[in-house]
Amino acid sequence: MRRTCLRKIGRRGKINIAANKKLKELFTEKRIRDCEIGLEGCCGNYLGLQFCHRKKRSWYYSRPELLSDFKQVVLGCPVCHNRIEHNPKLTEEVFKRLRPEP
């Protein structure tokens, strides 16, 4: 049987894995298990909850410590995540409500 070559995990992949591990621990510690965003059509407590970031992921690669910062992330269902992902104004409104800047 022929084996296929898997690509090695690169620098960005390692950053993402480490950040996701920290975020999972943080959200478990804070007992946040449901979609925090709660827009119309929200799935609520859904198995596919995702980390939704304040900025596009590429913005964080020069600032990897912020990728797992609680002020930069909310937990959202796929419906809410997709709605804020492509609407910067709505994203800022959500983050101002859930994670206000000091």
The confidence score (pLDDT) of residue 1 equals 58
Which comes out higher in pLDDT, residue 89 or 7?
Answer: 89
Rounded to two decimals, the pTM is 0.83
Burial (Cβ within 10 Å: 0-12, 13-18, ≥19) of residue 43: middle
What are the tens digits of pLDDT across the range 30-72?
999 999 999 999 988 777 899 999 999 889 989 999 999 999 9
Return mean pLDDT, the chain: 91
The confidence score (pLDDT) of residue 102 equals 64
Q: Answer whether residue 94 shows pLDDT above 80.
A: yes
Q: CB of 61 within 8 A of CB of 50?
A: no
